[in-house]
Amino acid sequence: MRQYLRTVPGKTISFILFVLSVAAAVLCVLGAIIMWEANIYTTPKAVLLEDTLESVVYDIEAPILSAARARYNGAPVLWPNKGSNFRFILTDPEGKTIAMSEGITGNETWTYTHTYGVGFGEWNEEYYYGSPSDEENVAFVFRSYIDSSLKAGDAFALMGRLIGALYALRIAVYPLGLLMLILAVVCYVTLLCVSGRRPEDEELHPGPLYAVPFDLILAAVIILALLVIWFIIDHAINFSHPSLTAAVIAASLFLGLNVFGGLSMSASARIKGRTLLTNTVIWRLLKLLWRILCFLGRLLKRLLRFLLSLLRGVPLIFRTLLAYLALCFINLLVIGTNLHDPDLCFAFLIIELILLFILVAYIALTLRRLQKGAQALAAGDLDHQVDTKGMLWDFRRHGEDLNRIGEGMNAAVEERLRSERLKTELITNVSHDIKTPLTSIINYSDLIAKEPCENEKITSYAQVLTRQSARLKRLIDDLIEASKASAGSLDVVPEPCSAGVFITQAAAEYGDRLKKAELELITQLPEKPVAIMADGRRLWRVFDNLLGNICKYAQPGTRVYLSLEEREGSAVITFKNVSRSALNVSPEELLDRFVRGDASRHEEGNGLGLSIARSLTELQNGTLELAIDGDLFKAILRFPVIG
Amino acid sequence: MYNILICDDEQDIVNALKIYLANGNYRLFEAHNGLEALEVIGKEDIHLVLLDIMMPELDGISAMARIRERSNVPVILLTAKSEDTDKILGLNVGADDYITKPFNPVEVAARVNSQLRRYMQLGSGKVRPGALAIGGIELDDAEKRVTLDGEEVALTPTEYDILRLLMQNPGRVFAPKDIYRLVWNEAPYGSENTVAVHIRHLREKLEIDPADPRYIKVVWGQGYKIDKGGKQ
């Protein structure tokens, strides 16, 4: 069914059905209106039939009267009954019969009795119509009845059948009209659905009119309709020919209905193809207009940009001056020409002040943003980006410059880190390569030293070799560690640990060595445990280096103090000892690589210990500080205390 | 008479090691890369391997892995790389011990002895009932005796108690305070130092290199512990 409706015959049938059902519905409505007008719903059938037939009787009586008077010659004129249901007898003013239907016996029951004036039919028929019952003019009398069988096919029979039909239909028009209306709607919806479709697929197959802009078609239809209406009003409405007029109007309406159906189908197909609005002349015109506006907008923007670039060419100071002068000029111009109207001047000043406030506020906010960015950069946050969104003119350029500084510095820092790492890698690799021959040197010098030999010198020389190669070994290990620590390529895993336990452990580890160096270690711990975040092994290396230095450089027979305090949220670990030789370097220099307290450098040690200690401490978010007071040497470690 | 394979691409180092191990009643074999080492192990009944890591043809780590596919002979790695990550890698692929170059000859001899004793005399899993064993350390609570790789070690009663505490809870970290309370049965008051000194002595008696202990580990800033199964 659905597929069939999509075929051409299906569509055609739907269309015809639609037109017919609309026409039928209209006819039903019209019929109902006419029947109301004719009182069919309020008058009984017999009464209406009689009244109607009487009006026909009037119509035929006048010509019969004229003809009878003309043909009267003393004897009654006999009227043939053939083809008529009308029976009558006509008498003149004297009561003589001048005409009668054939077969009248005088015993009939007359239904209608009409009188006509004497002059009737001589001058003007219409003259007497108005007063046929005027007593003074009563002259001719028509007595008539109608054969109720209505066998003959005359006007009475027609009228009788018509009224019979009307009475039969007077109730039926309502359901019929409703039915037709429903059918019309169904057909209409069907038409809308099948428009542009074909039975074989679900694609849109628009008709040939599809390409024509819809509003063009609509305009053509409206113009046509207006022409038809104008024609009907001006020419076709002619009351002397009512049936012709009605025919023309009906034909026009029928045509209009067809056009409406076609138009609806086209619109439906366009909606399906989403071209109802786009395939219109108006749409195309609007689009063209929009394009023109866009083009003009671009042109204007380019012009503005050109002017701005011209303005930007002017140095900042001159530009500011220029703006200031322009403002002064506008002020002078407006106020000077409106001195007579102080209200206007006042209003102008208020507006100007508001605009200036907006400008000043904008400048202040933008400057604040730039300032924040610069502060962040100065504080070392090189990743900070100034948000230049919404900034104008020189502010934007300044913000972008600041961002570029950050980028440039970031690149430099990264480059430095990279080269540090490369350096560390190089040192590590070289150190590994040095270690292999060093192993042989150490081993064989050891073997020489152990070899029983008469020449004591050889043994002592071999011992020097052994001692120095051992120093070289330590130097290499320290070198690797120092370069790794300063390049930050050591992985540090801080864990909560107790600084007090640390000092206890370190003191125990170093107990023997300190005793050997004739030093007395005194540890001072607080009662309360102090917890810090540190990588135990790395922190031990720091302690190892500091205590190792003490063993090497402290004056034998003195006391060494190792103390822990909690001060202002920091765990402060202090190493105190008395130096054996005079310290004539600054603490800062001591922390540099390869700098040692004794200028002669003949002591064991390589000057890397403190540098490593500081790097490792800093990797754990701590600080190492050295203080020298005469011969008193202090190393102070600080770590943040954790709750 | 034990068979020891020395594998290093540097002939001088091989010779030095041979000299150091010569008076230890060992039969010494030598190889100069990983492939040669595998060849020797295939032919001879080797009881211990000293293996260098950086060698041509086949490096020590790969050779190590191949050795472990068929034998659990003790392997001591010898290498110039001294960083912790290298040590961990070596031990993870199956080495029994690790010596960094340049090495102390005495230490090499000690480690070789230790590994051989454990491998040959004790075997694995031969623990006396009622004894605690971790790595080469065995503690017999009934006889109050401690042996390291089968050799008896003389400990003071306090050292013995501390060792027993640590061995009874392998892997657990004891703060000096806790050790004091559990061993001395007294409230610790400023006596942590004593504990630390005892532990140091214990390490000197039980470890070949007390600064780089295999068993009794210092957890810096927290306390002391014995790892489960030592370094293996």
**CATH number, position A520:** 3.30.565.10
Q: Are residues B104 and B156 in the same domain?
A: no
Task: Report the CATH number that the domain containing residue A405 is assigned in CATH.
Answer: 1.10.287
What chain B residue is nearest to A441 in terms of C-alpha separation?
A: B102
**Cα–Cα dist A294/A288, whole Å:** 10
Residue A401 lies in a domain: yes
Task: Report the CATH number that the domain containing residue B202 is assigned in CATH.
Answer: 1.10.10.10
Q: Are residues A361 and A400 in the same domain?
A: no
pLDDT at position A181 is: 92
Residue B231 lies in a domain: no
Q: Are residues A438 and A451 in the same domain?
A: yes
Q: Are residues A484 and A526 in the same domain?
A: no
pLDDT at position A119 is: 57
Pick from B10, B81, B197: CB nearest A432: B81
Tell me how close the Cα of B224 comes to any Cα of chain A, in angstroms. Answer: 9
**pLDDT above 70: residue A604:** no
**Cα–Cα dist A359/A245, whole Å:** 77
Residue A183 lies in a domain: no
What does the block give as tokens for A333?
Answer: 């111009």
Do residue A511 and residue B200 have CB atoms under 8 angstroms apart? yes
Render pLDDT for B11-44 as a digit per residue (tens, 0 to 9).
Answer: 888 988 888 888 778 889 988 888 888 888 888 8
Tell me how close the Cα of A439 comes to any Cα of chain B, in angstroms. Answer: 4
Pick from A440, A477, A507: CB nearest B193: A507
Q: Amino acid identity of A271?
A: I
Q: Are residues B112 and B148 in the same domain?
A: no
Do residue A536 and residue B80 have CB atoms under 8 angstroms apart? no
Residue B62 lies in a domain: yes
Q: Are residues B31 and B80 in the same domain?
A: yes
pLDDT at position A596 is: 60
Mean pLDDT value across chain A: 82
Do residue B12 and residue A511 have CB atoms under 8 angstroms apart? no
| Residues paired with A88 in a beta bridge | A144
Last residue of a domain, one of A121, A142, A169: A169
One-character DSSP codes across A240-292: TSHHHHHHHHHHHHHHHHHHHHHHHHHHHHHHHTT-TTTSSHHHHHHHHHHHH
What chain A residue is nearest to B19 in terms of C-alpha separation?
A: A447
Number of separate domains in chain A: 5
Do residue A444 and residue B16 have CB atoms under 8 angstroms apart? yes
Do residue A439 and residue B200 have CB atoms under 8 angstroms apart? no
Residue recorded with tokens 């819809």: A214
Q: Are residues A462 and A443 in the same domain?
A: yes
Q: Are residues B117 and B204 in the same domain?
A: no
Q: Are residues B163 and B64 in the same domain?
A: no
CB environment B190-218: b (16+ within 10 A), e (fewer) = ebbbbbbbbbbbbbebbbbebeebbbbbb
Quick one: average pLDDT of B55-84? 84
Handedness of CA B50, B51, B56, B57 (dihedral sign): positive
Residue A307 lies in a domain: no
| Residues paired with A564 in a beta bridge | A573
Do residue B221 and residue A536 have CB atoms under 8 angstroms apart? yes
Render pLDDT for A528-583 as a digit per residue (tens, 0 to 9).
Answer: 888 898 888 888 888 988 898 888 888 888 999 999 988 888 899 999 999 888 77
Task: Report the CATH number that the domain containing residue B74 is assigned in CATH.
Answer: 3.40.50.2300
One-character DSSP codes across A564-618: EEEETTEEEEEEEEEBSS---S-HHHHHSTT--S-TT--SS--S-HHHHHHHHHH
**Cα–Cα dist A626/A615, whole Å:** 14
Q: Are residues B92 and B135 in the same domain?
A: no
Residue B28 lies in a domain: yes
Highest mean predicted confidence (pLDDT) among A244-248, A357-361, A394-398: A357-361
Per 3-state DSSP, what percentage of chain A is helix, strand, and coil (rounded to 5)?
Answer: 60, 10, 25
CB A286 within 8 A of CB A241: no
Tell me how close the Cα of B189 comes to any Cα of chain A, in angstroms. Answer: 9
Contacts of A532 in chain B (CB under 8 A): 221
Tell me how close the Cα of B205 comes to any Cα of chain A, in angstroms. Answer: 14
**Cα–Cα dist A208/A225, whole Å:** 22
Tell me how close the Cα of A509 comes to any Cα of chain B, in angstroms. Answer: 7
CB A521 within 8 A of CB A562: yes
Q: Are residues B88 and B109 in the same domain?
A: yes
What chain B residue is nearest to A539 in terms of C-alpha separation?
A: B220
Count how many pairs of residues, chain A against chain B, have C-beta atoms within 8 Å.
97
Contacts of A525 in chain B (CB under 8 A): 190
Contacts of A438 in chain B (CB under 8 A): 101-102
Q: Are residues B54 and B117 in the same domain?
A: yes
Residue A4 lies in a domain: no
Last residue of a domain, one of B103, B122, B141: B122
**pLDDT above 50: residue A125:** no
> What Rg, from alpha-carbon coordinates, does chain A have?
63
- DSSP alpha helix (H) spans, B23-79: 34-43, 60-70
Alpha carbon separation from A408 to A377, A418, A419 (Å, rounded) = 11, 15, 17
Lowest mean pLDDT among A196-205, A276-285, A436-445: A196-205
What chain B residue is nearest to A484 in terms of C-alpha separation?
A: B83
Do residue B82 and residue A477 have CB atoms under 8 angstroms apart? yes
Residue B190 lies in a domain: yes
Number of separate domains in chain B: 2
Residue ranges making up the domain that contains B93? 2-122
Q: Are residues A536 and A628 in the same domain?
A: yes
Q: Are residues B15 and B111 in the same domain?
A: yes
Last residue of a domain, one of A121, A154, A169: A169
Residue A295 lies in a domain: no
Q: Are residues A466 and A522 in the same domain?
A: no
CB A540 within 8 A of CB B220: yes
Residue A159 lies in a domain: yes
What chain A residue is nearest to B52 in terms of C-alpha separation?
A: A436
Lowest mean pLDDT among A151-155, A239-243, A332-336, A402-406: A239-243
Residues of B with CB under 8 A from a CB of A: 10, 12-13, 16, 19-20, 54, 80-83, 101-103, 105, 175-176, 190, 192-193, 195-197, 199-200, 218-223
Do residue B102 and residue A473 have CB atoms under 8 angstroms apart? yes
Q: Are residues B80 and B24 in the same domain?
A: yes
Check residue A193 and give left, alpha or beta (phi > 0: left; psi -120 to 50: alpha): alpha
Q: Are residues A394 and A413 in the same domain?
A: yes
Residue A6 lies in a domain: no
Does residue B102 have a cis peptide bond before it, meaning omega lies within 30 degrees of 0?
Answer: yes
Do residue A438 and residue B197 have CB atoms under 8 angstroms apart? no
What chain B residue is nearest to A509 in terms of C-alpha separation?
A: B200
Residue B214 lies in a domain: yes
Q: Are residues A446 and A427 in the same domain?
A: yes
The helix/strand count (H/E) of chain A reads as: 17, 12
- Please classify residue B59 by burial: count the beta carbons closer than 10 Å to its beta carbon, then call 0-12 exposed, 13-18 middle and 19+ buried: middle
Last residue of a domain, one of B84, B102, B122: B122
Q: Are residues A120 and A163 in the same domain?
A: yes
Q: Are residues A479 and A518 in the same domain?
A: no
Q: pTM higher than 0.90 for the full model?
A: no
Contacts of A441 in chain B (CB under 8 A): 102
Last residue of a domain, one of A456, A489, A522: A489
Q: Are residues B103 and B136 in the same domain?
A: no
Q: Are residues B97 and B135 in the same domain?
A: no
Residue B232 lies in a domain: no
Q: Are residues A534 and A619 in the same domain?
A: yes
Residue ranges making up the domain that contains A344? 323-374
Antiparallel, parallel or unpaired: β B48-52 and A531-534? unpaired
Residue B162 lies in a domain: yes
Q: Are residues A257 and A127 in the same domain?
A: no
Residues 483-542 of A with CB under 8 A from B: 495, 497-502, 504-505, 507-509, 511-512, 523, 525, 532, 534, 536-537, 539-540
Residue B37 lies in a domain: yes
- Please classify residue A118 by burial: count the beta carbons closer than 10 Å to its beta carbon, then call 0-12 exposed, 13-18 middle and 19+ buried: middle
Render pLDDT for B124-182 as a digit per residue (tens, 0 to 9).
Answer: 555 566 678 887 788 888 888 888 877 888 888 888 988 988 888 888 888 888 888 88
Handedness of CA A472, A478, A483, A484 (dihedral sign): positive
Residue A160 lies in a domain: yes
Q: Is residue A323 within a helix (H) or strand (E), and if so which, with residue range? A: helix A316-337
Last residue of a domain, one of B99, B122, B145: B122
Pick from A439, A525, A534: CB nearest B102: A439
Residue count (chain A): 643
